[in-house]
Amino acid sequence: MKFLKRYRFFIVSILALLFLLLLNHGLGWKALNLSMYSLKEMVLIIPPIFILLGLLDIWVPRETMVKYMGEKSGIKGIALSFLLGSATAGPLYGAFPVAAIFLKKGAKLTNVLIFIGAWSTTKIPMFLFELSSLGVKFALTRLLIDIPGIILIAFTLSRLLSKEEIKSIYENAKSL
């Protein structure tokens, strides 16, 4: 029963996919192929992320994380959060385990939110692609709008959360 409860979304998704295959064979195969492609992509991306997380957890002492990204890190923590988030490659779902490790190690919530925002919008490879494909004006304009936007969103979210909610976020990160 615990197994069924834990994997209910996955089981319902498989049943829906099988039902779609029976109902509309062509569309069902397209959905199945897309699902298999997504699964393959995740299998290739998730293990390296977790290996890097394990190394980050072991190699970076909590004191170092607090010093550079903690409550009193100031502009240094914001800049480092942007740098780490922008230097990444991979889909956004890879950012969340990294963010959990940052929280576990004592990073300030605002800096973690900035890291997630940078991962999603200011990646260096994406910026280089935009420079070559869409031009300098577009790439720089987007970047100059995104950076203050990410900072504004991170600080706003941090202010909107109660102390109990923030404490709960840190406790959940520590339990991972």
pLDDT tens-place string over residues 108-150: 999 999 999 999 999 888 899 999 999 999 999 999 999 999 9
C-alpha span between 114 and 33 (Å, rounded) = 35
16-54 pLDDT per residue, tens: 999 999 999 899 999 999 999 988 888 888 888 778 777
pLDDT of residue 5: 86
pLDDT of residue 116: 96
C-alpha span between 112 and 126 (Å, rounded) = 21
pTM: 0.78
Both tokens of 140, joined, read: 């720089």
pLDDT of residue 65: 85
Share of the chain above pLDDT 70, in %: 100
Taking a C-beta distance cutoff of 8 angstroms, is the pair 107, 70 a contact? yes
